Amino acid sequence: MTKGGGKRHLKRFVVSKHIPIEKKANTYTVKPSPGPHAAHECIPMAIMLRDMFRVARNMSEVKRILVERNVLIDGKIKTNRKYPLGFMDVISFPKIKEHYRLVYTPKKGLRTIPIKEDETKVKLCQIKNKTTLKGGLTQLNLHDGRNIILQKSESDSVPYHTHDTVKISLPDQKILEKYELKIGNYGIVTSGRWMGKHGTIEEISSHGTQKTKTATIKTPDGEIFVTLFRYIFIVGNDTPSVTIAGNEGDKK
């Protein structure tokens, strides 16, 4: 009989482009555990601490840092060294009072940028799907695996659509604001050639499906480019509502 289930190991030369490790230094690396982000869109916790922040020299030190409850993700303590970290996740080290957010950067992919302590209490999440539950309740399925159930009065008063972004409070995940994916709003590109670029949406094509239609974005520097509509993640109305750019917080 053949072995059932998935593999427990991961070879370095096939890891996600977001993970900044040497592909030929060793054979294997840390495989992210199932969680809120897909394997090709995340960075495992151990890689973040050992290879990016370099606060640990080996896996034993990584485990000790985590078991001593020194790392918070989105306001909650995490002790799993394989926990997958993805776009817009908030990483906090309370003992040294340092806080970071994972964002997409041009050419490098996911990287951390330092943020202020007050920003650790909010997070932006994109609506990936909507589900109608029994009793007329609406459930929002967000990009980081969260599900928020709205009462009928809430969904009737404020319309929520897929590709829109909601700002939620952490860790109780109450909806504070909503940003629509429309002309004039500010967005960041999460995939493709222009990944990490951000700016104001100038135009949205009226033809094509949700997978093929495009949008034109103008960056603060005046650069104009066209990307797929589904690659855009709205981060605010006229300006970003959270920090999405800055000097990289990690050391690699």
Q: Nearest to residue 124, comparing CAs of 164, 152, 72?
A: 164
Tell me the pLDDT band of 210, cut-offs 50, 70 and 90.
confident
Least confident of 77-81, 88-92, 211-215: 211-215
16 close to 42: Cβ distance less than 8 angstroms: yes
Least confident of 52-61, 91-100, 138-147, 203-212: 203-212
How is the chain classified by DSSP, letter by letter?
-PPPS--S-EEGGGS-TTS---TTS-SEEPPPPSSSS-GGG-EEHHHIIIIIS---SSHHHHHHHHHTT--EETTEE---TTPEE-TT-EEEETTTTEEEEEEEETTTEEEEEE--GGGGGEEEEEEEEEEEPTTS-EEEEETTS-EEEEPHHHHHHS---TT-EEEEETTT--EEEEE-SSTT-EEEE-SSTTTT-EEEEEEE-SSS-TTT-EEEEE-TTS-EEEEEGGGEEEEESSS-SS---SS-SS--
Instruction: Supply the pLDDT for residue 82.
Output: 95
- For residue 135, pLDDT over 80 is answered with yes
pLDDT tens digits for 17-76? 888 888 888 898 999 999 999 999 999 999 999 999 999 999 999 999 999 999 999 999
What sign for the dihedral angle of Cα 53, 189, 149, 151? positive
Enter the pTM of the model. Answer: 0.90
Of the segments 1-5, 58-62, 206-210, which one has the largest average pLDDT value? 58-62
- For residue 231, pLDDT over 60 is answered with yes
34 close to 82: Cβ distance less than 8 angstroms: no
Mean pLDDT over 215-228 rounds to: 95
Length of the chain (residues): 252
Q: Distance between CA 40 and CA 82 in Å, rounded?
A: 14
- For residue 2, pLDDT over 60 is answered with yes
Cβ atoms within 10 A of the Cβ of 27, count?
A: 9
Tell me the pLDDT band of 103, cut-offs 50, 70 and 90.
very high
- For residue 245, pLDDT over 90 is answered with no
Mean pLDDT over 83-92 rounds to: 96
Tell me the pLDDT band of 152, cut-offs 50, 70 and 90.
confident
- For residue 3, pLDDT over 70 is answered with no
Q: Nearest to residue 235, comparing CAs of 205, 207, 199, 202?
A: 199
Mean pLDDT over 149-174 rounds to: 89
Q: Mapping DSSP to helix (H, G, I), strand (E, B) and coil, where does residue 191 land?
A: coil
Tell me the pLDDT band of 154, cut-offs 50, 70 and 90.
confident
Q: Which two tokens stand for residue 16?
A: 């996600």
Residue type, 118: D
- The CA radius of gyration of the chain, in Å to the nearest whole number, is 19
Cβ atoms within 10 A of the Cβ of 172, count?
A: 8
Mean pLDDT over 172-192 rounds to: 94
231 close to 214: Cβ distance less than 8 angstroms: no
- For residue 115, pLDDT over 90 is answered with yes
Instruction: Delineate the domains of the chain, giving CATH numbers in brackets.
Output: 10-115 (3.10.290.10), 121-179 (2.40.50.740), 186-236 (2.30.30.30)
Mean pLDDT over 139-168 rounds to: 90
